[in-house]
């Protein structure tokens, strides 16, 4: 917004901008995400020291991230130590739902912010005993755009796409699916009621990210979740092994 | 609207450098934004002006240099411009392109007084 008249019209440049005397040019060459990337690297070192598997869950609002977490915790919390960071603009509803499962949970409210950043996560984990944690789940703010750019120090970004959203989401929001290592296609119990082309969706996701790993799941019926659990157990074992070395 | 956070970073970095240089004020700031960096130039400009208030950057101008994204085909080794992440090679139509650039997001230089 222009500080003179408050106008925000694109291309509306006031001539005062052009009246500046020519000054001295200083080269800077600094990455604008460098601060976040530095903090994320710090988080990653800390998580690595504990052999902690860290997942950054990203999706549109309402894709079923919190329900996925509830199901996953119910199935695995007997064997694995979990901690959950919940990101939302407002309310502690999600952290309350997770806390009801008995797993340590902390809510981060971003206010006007549209994504979690590495700084928030670094302070968020101060609420957990990481030595007793095997998996840290970070549920990002529901948003398929901004969270793609902000490294939190995670091992994997996991995208959740529900079948009610349409099969072309990977093409519409390529940056997010490009950044994700895993894609969970959720709510497959609804497929009989929808015109959702699963093969097309998988093809779109692979077009944007050829190596993306895809699981088809329903958190309502439990279908397909065993493959997800198996993958989680394998990744925890890999992290522990890399820490022991 | 993560452009707000990006704009805050620009102001933070520029102001720190300006103080080190003993500048009275910053006149222009030049940033480079890759075509696939996920940043909308108009939104960045909008946020930048708001973030400059009561700093050495108040009244300064943001120059955004947009950089094209490039890829190299893994099959025929042709280099080409990527308009989106999933453009095929314009020569052999292979989908096996290796992205070379396009996600840049950096503050390049500034003019101070």
How does pLDDT run across A185-235, given as a tens digit for each residue?
999 999 999 999 999 999 999 999 999 999 999 999 999 999 999 999 999
Name the least confident of A34-38, A52-56, B52-56.
A34-38
Give CA separation, A105 vs A50, A111, A115, in Å.
18, 19, 18
Nearest 5 degrees, angle CA B107-CA B108-CA B111? 100
Mutate which of A11, A18, A26 to test chain B, going by most B C-beta atoms within 10 A? A26
**CA A82, CA A94: separation in Å to the nearest integer?**
15
In the sheet that holds B26-34, the strands lie side by side as A24-31, B105-112, B26-34, B61-67
Model pLDDT, residue A21: 55
Closest-approach residue (CA) in chain B for A11: B42
**What number is the ipTM of this complex?**
0.81
Query: What is the least distance, in Å, from the CA of B70 to any CA of chain A?
Result: 15
Q: How confident is the model at residue A5 (pLDDT cuts 50, 70, 90)?
A: very low
Q: What is the Cα–Cα distance from A71 to A77, expressed in whole angstroms?
A: 10
Percent of chain B scoring above 70 in pLDDT: 99
pLDDT of residue B5: 87
3-state secondary structure A131-166: HHCCEEEEECCCCCCHHHHCCCCCCEEEEEEEHHHC
- Confidence at residue A197, expressed as pLDDT on a 0 to 100 scale: 98
**B45 to chain A nearest CA, in Å?**
8
Rounded to whole angstroms, the Cα distance separating B89 from B96 reads 8
Greater confidence (A58 vs A18) lies with A58
Residue A26, SS3 per DSSP: strand
What was the pLDDT predicted at A245? 61
State whether residue A48 is helix, strand or coil. helix
Say yes or no for a CB contact (<8 Å) between B111 and A29: no
Rounded Cα distance between A34 and A117, Å, is 12
């Amino acid at each position: 917004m222009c500080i003179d008249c408050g106008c925000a019209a694109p291309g509306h440049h006031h001539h005062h901008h052009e009246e500046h005397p020519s000054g001295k040019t200083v080269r800077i060459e600094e990455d604008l995400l460098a601060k976040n990337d530095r903090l994320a690297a710090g988080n990653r070192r800390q998580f690595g020291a504990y052999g902690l598997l860290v997942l950054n869950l990203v999706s549109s609002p309402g894709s079923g991230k919190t329900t996925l977490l509830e199901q996953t915790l119910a199935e695995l919390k007997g064997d694995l130590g979990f901690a959950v960071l919940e990101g939302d603009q407002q309310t502690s509803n999600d952290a309350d739902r997770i806390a009801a499962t008995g797993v340590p949970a902390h809510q981060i409210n971003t206010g006007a912010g549209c994504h979690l950043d590495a700084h928030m996560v670094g302070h968020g984990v101060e609420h957990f005993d990481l030595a007793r944690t095997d998996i840290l789940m970070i549920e990002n703010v529901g948003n398929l755009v901004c969270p793609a750019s902000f490294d939190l120090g995670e091992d994997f970004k996991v995208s959740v796409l529900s079948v009610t959203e349409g099969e072309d989401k990977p093409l519409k929001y390529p940056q997010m699916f490009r950044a994700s290592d895993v894609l969970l296609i959720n709510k497959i119990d609804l497929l009989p009621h929808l015109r959702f082309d699963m093969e097309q969706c998988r093809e779109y996701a692979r077009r944007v990210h050829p190596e993306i790993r895809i699981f088809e799941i329903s958190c309502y019926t439990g279908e397909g979740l065993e493959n997800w659990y198996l993958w989680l157990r394998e990744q925890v074992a890999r992290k522990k092994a890399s820490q022991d070395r | 609207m993560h452009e707000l956070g990006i704009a805050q970073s620009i102001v933070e970095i520029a102001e720190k450098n300006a103080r080190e240089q003993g500048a009275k004020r910053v006149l222009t700031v030049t940033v480079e934004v890759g075509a696939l960096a996920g940043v909308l130039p108009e939104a960045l400009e909008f946020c930048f002006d708001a973030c400059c208030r009561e700093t050495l950057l108040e009244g300064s101008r943001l120059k955004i240099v947009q950089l094209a994204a490039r890829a190299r085909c893994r099959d025929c080794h042709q280099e080409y411009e990527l308009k989106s992440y999933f453009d095929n090679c314009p020569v052999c139509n292979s989908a096996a392109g290796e992205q070379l650039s396009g996600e840049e997001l950096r503050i390049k230089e500034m003019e101070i007084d």
